[in-house]
Chains A and B, each alone.
Chain A
């Protein structure tokens, strides 16, 4: 099938695609912190964010269920909470990588899970996720090359190098030669265009480009979040307890996130739709594309865990599903930031922290023996492939 027939018609124009997302929206996500898959039960809904200094801190919801949160320096977390070995290793890994964005944290989580500290199945899933991401990046690059060649007026039927062709080092020169026409139109060499497309593919690998036969991770996640909203609404229709109302609120939130993610994906896709123009202005657009993908990761931050929870709930009773809905509800960050927040500092950031309490080691904390049934359940969430 010619590639062009798979490509969606252009949506937003390139100028619109370059627009930054509303700062207030994005900064709100950022100040909530990055959701992180800890296996220690009381950290199940914890989030990590940079502190006012250059260190990282963990936000833990009030243990008594009240308003506000505990904010604990990540490096001291082990002194305050009895951590599972997995979480202790994860903290060390995050600190070592100085990871603070969703993708960076995710890579740290996968690296630790791959070791097997969350169980053999989670290790297998992590290895698979890492391999899938690499494949998605590669496939995205192939599709970008296709688009570049076709946009330059090549014969669509003859043009596209396949994944196998691209993977072969020997065919690389042939692919570069095919890019010659587009290189000419953007005043670059074939090598330069190839390098740009590789870089572009690496940046948008988590999202993919329009017309790919499979949805890449973030695009898939956005669709699943949208479906989750529908599932929760239907579930809530049969629920007469207050949990039904919780489910509706989570569904509303999921729908908003999915809509926002869809808009963001359209913006990212618009760069691919206008392939030649993007290539021509790559020096400027590269940063914008990168920021757009990062924003999408922030928008969807935390929903992967919620989807896993919901999928896990499929195996259990209605009562357990009610608990899961409450857990998902509890995992959603309180929207404390009212104003705009360009960076993680300043007045607005302070506002976002209002209502949270600092915790000192061995004080004001419920320590105790870990419930390994809950740990197992949290570990099993890592086994679901989304």
Chain B
């Protein structure tokens, strides 16, 4: 029985209530179901829902043909929400359409043989890449060559291919897969050398191994150096480390220099993609400020490193482009984090009276959480404001938020005290919740000392209200 979509929500909710044994059984069932064409999409959805637990429970995953096919490019996979193309990366969403096209050109007998030999093997079996990889990769390479040859020679075939891959981004992923498969054996060898992932830098032995592989591919430099560079870059913690090490004209090794130059391009492309996404963030949406703050911090750091690398002539890149990216980041921070922060936080503190009903209470809780998230984003942006020249704007916003939050909540307590008679417990509890919220906001924007002073002052006043 394949679970209905409604049951997937239940799986997601009760993911950690299952014992390990039950969970392993469920995973095994889903993986077997995935092999059936009727159950594929639901099983994929269910396995996606189970991913958080899979990451920690790690029941042995069944080996399958797709997994063997993906092995040469698994390092460059990215889990973006769509198939959008990024230099040196392949979207996970591109795997299924690409495999559907390629597998049609692979001899069914070979696929059946591999499936039969896989049996109940799991990915925990260390020998699977060497045992099953080469025959499948060879067949897949031939299939890629045939498909791309036809597409390059005939417009209609090209259009049909693009259509079945879901567009130009799908086609770009398809072509990169083909090139990664062409160096599958090299990638397999290098993977063990460039471990554990991610590497902070290439040491002498790593660099020698990588350089050796570039040299071995010198005859196919135009097509295969790039996928090799993408693979090495994907094994690194920060591609810019490669750009700094090998991107300069002083690097005498042609392969490593190519790697360094590609790394700087990938860094700039990644940064451009990040800033493009930040630019597309709709200001005022619940997660906009948090997204800009957290991704902005990484982007600011990358921009600073790019600028430093270019200044020190470690690699070449356009300073004007770097300036443009910095301005893009400043705009994103202004639009999503600074604008409207004061009114948002004031709005979350405006009334401390008990809500009329559960819906009102929930709405107020949601508003407070949004305000706290904004305060957190403000704190985060303050950390990198100096790198993009926004210190003054941030400091002004922080000051006004701190003053306003403290004053509003103390006014609410004072108003309660001024009322006739002792305020009821609900009203006191409600103003205490408002105080706690204000304390958390002040803690984020102005630090724990100031927040603690507000807490003490507020709680003393509330205690006096309770004692009255």
Q: Identify the A interface with B (CB < 8 A).
A: 82-85, 88-89, 115-117, 119-120, 223, 227, 230-231, 234-235, 237-241, 310-311, 313-316, 319, 321, 369-370, 372-373, 376
Q: How many residues of B contact A (CB 8 A)?
A: 36
- The answer, yes or no, to whether B379 is at the interface (CB within 8 Å) is yes
Q: Is the CB of B57 within 8 A of A234?
A: yes
Out of A85, A234, A373, name the residue touching B439 (CB < 8 Å): A85
Q: A119-B372, A227-B20 are in contact. Are A82 and B449 (CB under 8 A)?
A: yes
CA distance A88 to B455 in the complex (A): 10
Q: Is the CB of A227 within 8 A of B19?
A: yes
Interface of B (DSSP majority class): helix
Q: Is the CB of B16 within 8 A of A311?
A: yes
Nearest-Cβ distance from residue B198 to partner chain A, whole angstroms: 7
Q: Is the CB of B365 within 8 A of A311?
A: no
CA distance A238 to B126 in the complex (A): 10
Q: Is the CB of A85 within 8 A of B443?
A: yes
Q: Is the CB of A88 within 8 A of B452?
A: yes
Q: Which residues of B contact A237 (CB under 8 A)?
A: 124
CA distance A373 to B56 in the complex (A): 22
- Return 8 A-B CB contacts under 8 Å, by A number: A82-B447, A116-B436, A117-B440, A227-B19, A234-B57, A235-B58, A316-B55, A370-B447
Q: Is the CB of A370 within 8 A of B448?
A: yes
Which A residue's beta carbon lies closest to that of B19?
A: A227
Q: Is the CB of A313 within 8 A of B439?
A: no
Q: Is the CB of B58 within 8 A of A231?
A: yes
Which B residue's beta carbon lies closest to that of A117?
A: B436
* Shortest beta-carbon contacts, A-B, top 3: A314-B52, A116-B436, A241-B196
Q: Is the CB of B195 within 8 A of A116?
A: no
Which B residue's beta carbon lies closest to that of A384?
A: B16
Nearest-Cβ distance from residue B347 to partner chain A, whole angstroms: 16
Q: Which residues of B contact A234 (CB under 8 A)?
A: 57-60
Q: A115-B436, A240-B195 are in contact. Are A84 and B443 (CB under 8 A)?
A: yes
Interface residues of B in 402-454 (CB under 8 A from A): 432-433, 436-437, 439-440, 443-444, 447-449, 451-452
Q: Is the CB of B56 within 8 A of A235?
A: yes
- The answer, yes or no, to whether B141 is at the interface (CB within 8 Å) is no
- The answer, yes or no, to whether B53 is at the interface (CB within 8 Å) is yes
- The answer, yes or no, to whether B368 is at the interface (CB within 8 Å) is yes
Q: Which residues of A contact B440 (CB under 8 A)?
A: 85, 116-117, 119
Q: Is the CB of A376 within 8 A of B57?
A: no
- The answer, yes or no, to whether B138 is at the interface (CB within 8 Å) is no
CA distance A85 to B447 in the complex (A): 9
Count chain B CB atoms within 10 A of each CB in A234, A239, A369 and give the residue with the most. Answer: A234
Q: Which residues of A contact B59 (CB under 8 A)?
A: 234
Nearest-Cβ distance from residue A86 to partner chain B, whole angstroms: 9
Out of A230, A240, A311, A369, name the residue touching B447 (CB < 8 Å): A369
Q: A88-B452, A117-B436, A120-B368 are in contact. Are A313 and B376 (CB under 8 A)?
A: no
Which B residue's beta carbon lies closest to that of A319?
A: B198
